[in-house]
Structure 1
């Protein structure tokens, strides 16, 4: 529906209804897809540096779980909590419709933080990246060429400082980040093993992503034994996505002077009481360096990352699996799929293919 001059349009939005209780899995009903009206012209006020965009692809990411909790400021996600009654926000790919910012012009494609809606007015567009390379699928900028790719690159190369021939273990290895860490490590000349939660995902790791080995953690009664089977001489590098029992088992199997990049701990996100870690003494005895990191602190490396990864994609050296859900109306279902591990690969919501 539009106004007489075509300026007003319906804007479908995925609204966050209310905070989710800690220890309870999010449900589709915690979100609601509604419609509002947005003025597509003159949305950016004179003198403002805001940018009006049409959203194309939205990214579902594990960090969004913590943004659903009502927490004290000291315990909140680095991006803050979602606000009840307002659209969910997250990373996405969009096209600029109107701009008051000197870095962006009408028609530009960008990726960065946006709203879960058809049209968004971005008040801080300087946190977004202009997409210069459009000879790859645009959806890649929600993952492979966006935050997930940069996270994998930074965690492996900058945090872990790998050496050729080292042994690398990746948990949640078929996810948006894990599948890339494994491929970066293989291309670098490392021995790579991953864990995942289904036979389908394990087959992906071995056959599509060319991991040296992989196992289904749900079928392993003893994670310590599983790791000793895969790494009889120990682990040099662990890319941490899971936490809990997996981290505890890994600590027992790290080599002297091993490195751990702590990217996420998805096994802990839906627990009312996080699990304790019992084998931290290994960090001292080995000694092991464990570093937590946020990719936002490394955005300055994005150009270097693109220079490295784009040629590898175009030469077919890196492959990427996406789990595509069509339509914003199915966005809540897509996000819930991610938290329950039903997704295979990077979970993406298509808002519009233009």
Structure 2
């Protein structure tokens, strides 16, 4: 089989001011064709098979007027650069030790068809994706057994020190990170009560099947009172794992127990430039002696393989459920990669949103 000599990629064309677009004169992304560089020592040629879709990617493409680059935890994507994304790919050719033709690898692939990657570059994070137990799809390396599973574990265990017997509330509980937080809190940490928050009744049923004692639909007209009643029935809330920010965070500040802790993981409700909401309950941070701690998973990557091992072990023991329901894999034409990514901001996914090329 002859090897490809060119590839298509989605490039950042303009910093978005609201919801990103991929058509029109001021589109956020543009589709380009590039020549592949020659394969040299230490490099591999990879065909991209799957791409991870993450809310954090929105921050990477924001205008410097919106977010100062030095306040981001990774360098922003510059105009003219390929859109950055972690992914899984197949090695078509290799001149790097430890990588062979046919290997499935994970690493930073970007929105590209093919990529020549430096196997020793830490920024690429390239490693062979080993088979998972029970015939699980390797796509879980992008979700439950990858960055999102690690985010859930470190945020809950390391950042806010959740302990057995505590009461936990999780927003975005049907998402990639939130669904793992529910399971880790209930089945690994031993939380006495776990309340999930999700976007519809069907998702809530799934969250409860994972171990949540109760799941609330935030689109309910009575959500605020339902949340208050659920927290009171549980005996309070010691830990709130926040994936969304905005109004739900504000409501939770008014429902936390004294000395409660908030793991600030994400704020997707404001990522596309929506007007910020006033924080009506902020005084509770003072009156209830609350702690709010932001974190980024890369701060804990030195423990990543240890925790992945724990999660794989928990899957084998039946303590953590991972399967088709934990991810939404969308078969996508290359021309529609941005459209699949944008589903994140529509709440269209259950579990991890993965693009399958």
TM-superposed CA distance for 1:129, in Å, is 5.1
Asked if residue 14 in structure 1 is aligned to residue 10 in structure 2, the reply is yes
Segments of 4+ moved more than 6 angstroms: none
Q: How far apart are the structure 1 equivalents of 2:335 and 2:316?
A: 33
1:20-63 superposed Cα distances (whole Å, 9 cap, x missing partner) = 11xx2223423344443325xx323x5xx554322221000001
Cα distance, 1:118–1:277 mapped onto 2, change above 3 Å:
same
1:349 to 340, 351, 355: 355
Query: Which of 90, 113, 121 pairs up with 1:118?
Result: 113
Question: What is aligned with 1:336?
Answer: 342
Distance 1:227 1:285 in 2: 20
2:254 aligned counterpart, secondary structure: helix
Give the gaps of 5 or more residues in structure 1.
none
Moved more, 196-205 or 181-190: 196-205
Pick one of 56, 66, 77 that aligns with 1:63: 56
3-state SS of paired residue (1:218) = coil
**Separation in structure 1 between the aligned mates of residue 184 and residue 35 of structure 2, nearest angstrom:** 45
Q: Check whether the contact 1:197–1:216 (CA below 8 A) recurs between aligned residues.
A: yes
- Which shows bigger deviation, 55-64 or 121-130? 121-130
SS of the residue aligned with 1:71? coil
Aligned residue number for residue 78 of structure 1:
73
**1:267 maps to what in 2?**
269
Query: Which residue does the alignment assign to 2:130?
Result: 133
Partner of 1:27: 21
For residues 54-81 of structure 1, give each alpha carbon's deviation from its aligned partner in whole angstroms, at most 9, with x where no partner exists. 2221000001112232115446632333
For the residues of structure 1 that align with 2:288 and 2:352, how far apart are their CA atoms? 35
Shift of 1:98: 5.0
Q: Secondary structure at the match of 2:176?
A: coil
The aligned counterpart of 2:230 is 230
Indicate how the Cα distance of structure 1 residues 122 and 277 shifts in structure 2: closer, same or farther if over 3 A, else same: farther
| Cα distance between partner residues in 1 of 2:3 and 2:50 | 23
Distance 1:169 1:12 in 2: 43
Q: Hey, what does 1:176 align to over in structure 2?
A: 176
Which deviates the most, 276-285 or 168-177? 276-285
Tell me the alpha carbon deviations over residues 92-111 of structure 1, each in whole angstroms, 9 at most, x when there is no partner: 12234455666656554432
Distance 2:266 2:126 in 1: 24
The TM-score with structure 2 as length reference comes to 0.86
How far is the alpha carbon of 1:150 from its aligned partner?
Answer: 0.5
Aligned length: 338
- CA offsets, 1:104-158, max 9 Å, x none? 5655443232211121233573241524531342101111111101100100111
Does the CA-based 8 Å contact 1:51-1:125 persist in structure 2? no
Q: Which residue of 2 aligns with 1:322?
A: 327
User: Per-residue displacement from partner, 1:182-214 (whole Å, max 9, x unpaired)?
Assistant: 01111032211111112221122123x231101
- List runs of 5+ in structure 2 lacking aligned partners: none
Which residue pairs with 1:276 in the alignment? 278
